[in-house]
Amino acid sequence: MRLIAAVLFVLLTAPHGAALAESAAAPCATIEACDAAIRNRPGLALYEARGYLQLMRRDLDNAIADFSAAIAIDASRAFSLYGRGMARLISGDAAGQNEMEAAIMLQRNIAEEFKAYGTK
């Protein structure tokens, strides 16, 4: 229950726009920019950024697909596991909570990092 409350808090307090500020944490600011970058040079950070943007748009299937692509590159990335878990949980898949908890085991502060990601 506490994890579900944390998920709702992150979603309700995160920016809901389609863009992120350009930074090292967010290699592309829009889904379209991420699409173009992934076509040219797919990579972990780009899949995570696009997955985050998809999640903020509530496009859960595409968010899950992008976070899954990132996990295929590096299965130990807490950010990717947390994001996919959140998308799965919101979409009604209770197994998403297990992924979020696994991400927290990998990195205790992942919830805070995930929340701050959109504001960088």
Q: pTM for this structure?
A: 0.80
Judged against a pLDDT cut of 80, whether residue 8 lies above it is answered with no
CA 53 to chain centre: 7
Whether 15 is covered by a domain: the verdict is no
Whether 11 is covered by a domain: the verdict is no
- 32-44 pLDDT, tens digit per residue, is 999 999 999 999 9
Decide which of 21 and 57 is more confident.
Answer: 57
pLDDT of residue 27: 87
- Pull the structure tokens for residue 9: 């808090």
Q: How many CB atoms lie within 10 A of CB 67?
A: 29
- 49-84 pLDDT, tens digit per residue, is 999 999 999 999 999 999 999 999 999 999 999 999
pLDDT of residue 69: 98
Which domain covers residue 67, as residue numbers? Answer: 2-6+28-117
Whether 55 is covered by a domain: the verdict is yes
* CATH code of residue 78: 1.25.40.10
Are the C-beta atoms of residues 30 and 118 closer than 8 Å to each other? no
Whether 21 is covered by a domain: the verdict is no
Judged against a pLDDT cut of 70, whether residue 47 lies above it is answered with yes
Count of structural domains, the chain: 1
Whether 12 is covered by a domain: the verdict is no
Whether 19 is covered by a domain: the verdict is no
Tokens 């699409």 -> residue: 35
Whether 56 is covered by a domain: the verdict is yes
Whether 14 is covered by a domain: the verdict is no
